[in-house]
Structure 1
């Protein structure tokens, strides 16, 4: 991207300061996530569990929270960046893996694959989820492009929400037809990070790493798209190729996250909007900030879910819905669904 296409310059010092603050908040939340749960633990138990000891119930509890915290951070970072990419690709302030139906597409694909084809391996789950997310993204964009005016933000949001409702009903229909797997699918459908293990996470790490790399590598080109298709083409960008590559990164992030956590909504909607208040619209800063803020939001939501429902807990997908739904209404009312 040429300098003429770059966003208006901002001083780097405030951004670096906010970056440090955000990283400190994430570290603090991660420490709280390890320490807080249904069972009280002390610093000695935490230190022992970090060294790999599980001699007591308290140490075993801490050992179970560590991978859960890591998974929440990874999932939040992936969904936060995916939301920022989707909003940049579509120039749609309402774009989000949940609102555009991408997460539900991955969910439906997994439900069908489990019920009708009997898939059970972690690798198969990931590939099925990615294909479902990708197919849904193409479908929603095609439907939102119909009619006069092309793929406007409002049409894309309506197409995505209609697709989400339809796919959610289809998931229920699949579960009703297979009572033997309905319980597991229903629990997974809520979206959560409970029961996380490092062995399960290993399978999704390559997909998440590739998605993050593609997203960060597309930052400059997303800045060009923000100027409009005609201007981006005039600056030498192949608009369709840029959109396809950046969307691939978002689909990998959404699909892999949904495969291991289930569909978690609103993280990709809330986080990019808040990060724009801190760093502006330059995707070279917005994407990494969205990843860090998304990780902090999901780890914090997981902690909140444990506190609010003690001695039980709320899945993180329920907590993010409570946070994100009012935010979505506020955007619709005050942002008037303008393009970015």
Structure 2
């Protein structure tokens, strides 16, 4: 999807009004879908529940197994919404900042870097506090982002979209192998984090959510504040600089917000992939390429996708569960292959 320069519309042109209506309808539809996803997430799972059980669980009752199941699903649903929104916004920002349609926290190795840092901290430094997981995850995500960009910048031509995608894929594989090498000889660590490696929200608790919420909030605010800068970067570095934009500063700030979101989300839910790839591309068709609309709408879309993916993982293999990271991979891998095969998807 190539970036297009802004076009001047003639007086009375209906295109802005048409886009405006489409955006409003799209936002309303996503809000309705999110409400439906929340209801499904609270209602469906390994145990069937009634409306009375749902009401009791919402009131905090755990007197019966069904109401206790509902009470456990509530923080799980909240975490799925937050993580889905964070990953979708991070993917949108990374695609805009790098002008790379293949950019995604998982594909670029950022989630893998956060995961490797957390596992290393647990295995060798005895990390046990969720807040330390978050800080460690953000440091790992930042280090991975720097490493991928450095590798992708080697040689002539600098950091092209294809080089960044290849460098990210190689780095992600390397981080995954290193993580496995650390975990396999350490049974006690492996037992705790073998499901976390896949990515899931099943262990959500409100104390954990409250600890990660400030980091997600800061990252989201930074990304939303970068919307206008991302619109300018989409015109190309030279034209953006000609318009007075500080290209490197804008790219650094936007990427920093995405790294905070990736690190925090990975710390609490594991390295969930493809949400940041699928959602931005789908929603560009709905609201266009203006990041002032695309970023908040991507947050809604990511929340819907991850919440529904979690519901699917709970239902299709009852009474067992399929971790949400596997479900998003099944959705995102074919999308990624189709995206790579499109010849014109070389830069945003």
- TM-score (ref. length: structure 2): 0.95
Evaluate the alpha carbon distance shift between residue 105 and residue 7 of structure 1 in structure 2; reply closer, same or farther with a 3 A threshold: farther
Distance of 1:300 and 1:102 partners within structure 2: 24
Distance of 1:256 and 1:130 partners within structure 2: 6
Matches within 5 A, 1:136-155: 136-155=144-163
Partner of 1:79: 87
Structure 1 unaligned segments of length 5 or more: list them: none
Higher deviation after alignment, 236-245 or 179-188: 179-188
Partner of 1:20: 28
CA-based RMSD = 1.3
Q: How many residues align?
A: 337
For the 8 Å contact 2:140–2:263, the answer to whether it is kept is yes
Matches within 5 A, 1:328-339: 328-339=336-347
For the 8 Å contact 2:198–2:325, the answer to whether it is kept is yes
For the 8 Å contact 1:7–1:282, the answer to whether it is kept is no
Distance of 1:288 and 1:335 partners within structure 2: 29
Instruction: Give the SS at the match of 2:16.
Output: coil
Partner of 1:285: 293
Partner of 1:303: 311
Partner of 1:161: 169
Q: Confirm whether residue 258 of structure 1 aligns to residue 266 of structure 2.
A: yes
Q: Confirm whether residue 127 of structure 1 aligns to residue 135 of structure 2.
A: yes
Give per-residue Cα distances to partners, 1:99-140, cap 9 Å, x unaligned: 000000001001110000010001110000000000100110
Q: Confirm whether residue 195 of structure 1 aligns to residue 203 of structure 2.
A: yes
Matches within 5 A, 1:221-240: 221-240=229-248
Q: Confirm whether residue 214 of structure 1 aligns to residue 222 of structure 2.
A: yes
Q: Alpha-carbon deviation of 1:166? A: 0.6
Task: Write out the 4+ residue segments of structure 1 that deviate beyond 4 Å after TM superposition.
Answer: 5-9
Distance of 2:157 and 2:346 partners within structure 1: 14
Structure 2 unaligned segments of length 5 or more: list them: 9-14
Distance of 2:33 and 2:42 partners within structure 1: 14
For the 8 Å contact 2:195–2:323, the answer to whether it is kept is no
Distance of 2:38 and 2:158 partners within structure 1: 43
Instruction: Give the SS at the match of 1:120.
Output: coil
Q: Confirm whether residue 32 of structure 1 aligns to residue 46 of structure 2.
A: no
Give per-residue Cα distances to partners, 1:174-231, cap 9 Å, x unaligned: 0123222112122210100002110111111000000110010000000000000011
Evaluate the alpha carbon distance shift between residue 311 and residue 335 of structure 1 in structure 2; reply closer, same or farther with a 3 A threshold: farther
Matches within 5 A, 1:104-123: 104-123=112-131
Instruction: Give the SS at the match of 1:177.
Output: coil
